[in-house]
Structure 1
């Protein structure tokens, strides 16, 4: 499949412009790091929806926006009775995968045409590419078996200063505001995950739960687990902040790429400052289709 190359980064060509985050090796490596950060956050778990601990033969799982496919691969390894399909805009997943795992190129904002229904649907960190979340929830509901579960794990792209921070975070705050403003111009709201309850229930789901967590940036938290997460998150953001922002600021705002990269140097310096205490909020929603 062809890709779009721009300012030294590689982007999706399928539905070009739909998702403005790269799919090059630099970004794929970061996504794998971020996957491990999620596992640490969830105490080693891949999900929190109350699906059976031992899955029966024929249990069907759909991973939307699978990225590198690492979540789907690990779920398949840990649940050999299940069958997992991972879908993404780009075919960047590995060729050698468990026999109960497969990948497809698809855009989940268009009509889902899978010839089966699923017991569990999982999606993670999709907010930078989804314009109509209500439709995603509706299609998830339509493609679940009765009694099946859907789970959406998201972060909101805003870096919040901790009340006890010795120093403010003006560079990070300004950057996240500019990316949010740019994203809204193409119909993407990267700060809406906290408010999905109404849309999820409107799609027909019951037993909705939302869990709020946070990822510190750096090791400032007194909590040892948060220190470990914060260490990983700082590495994650240092490696990923260019990919998460460059196309939004260059294509939509019209900022020159070299000026954006100079700005990101200041942002990264702030990330490394141990006196700047900030975090981002995570929201995990899960809900069930009635029996």
Structure 2
């Protein structure tokens, strides 16, 4: 028989997972944080908590902050380019534009450049709409300090954020045309679908062959894609359209095993970035569709 404690945690789990994932960039780490948070929540008499969601958000935020500080060193030692662990999202995830942008590969990479406190404050305020006062209670800092952190983080993000179109039928069509051109080796058709300053970022984690540095420019990216397809796919490889991190994507499966995942950033009808994940440690957790949610926006969403 389910308890009040279990019901409250289950009800808010998509929101709690999304907060932890955006703070950590890893679904596995986010799940660890949720497990730790549930253990703390289960030790509390839920009937005495007036606002369970607010309480759980505070617990998850604190656990994610603790976890984030421990993984920073691990990321600095990562072999090659680090990309967030991809999460498979439902196609309708793109309907919430703020949420889709916040979990996109581009935004997650920007969030990686923030300090742990800046990341927590930006995610909670600008994505989830919590007030500076609510955030202060979650991270154990004075409200005036949180305001300063929020201003600094927002300025940093705005200077680095990339504009893109969330996954939709139109963006998936661009991806399909790109894949068709790649399959036939039509390099000019590929280049026509790429923005002049397109960038391709690959993550092999040092475990499989992948470009160690970003590839930039339509000509170089087109040739890079054709080279990867030539060396990593066989007659047993099939390609499936999907949505990951709120972005149109393609799954490359060989003998039904996922061995390459590419998420596409599209702006004004052209591909502006490709994010290719080949690290098997990240791919083996990428199949499950994740429920992500922002919950009901806080009443203080505009207290800037």
TM-score range, shorter chain: under 0.3
Structure number with higher helix proportion: 2
Greater Cα radius of gyration, structure 1 or 2: 2
TM-score by length of 2: 0.22
Higher relative contact order (CA 8 A, sep 6+): 2
TM-score by length of 1: 0.23
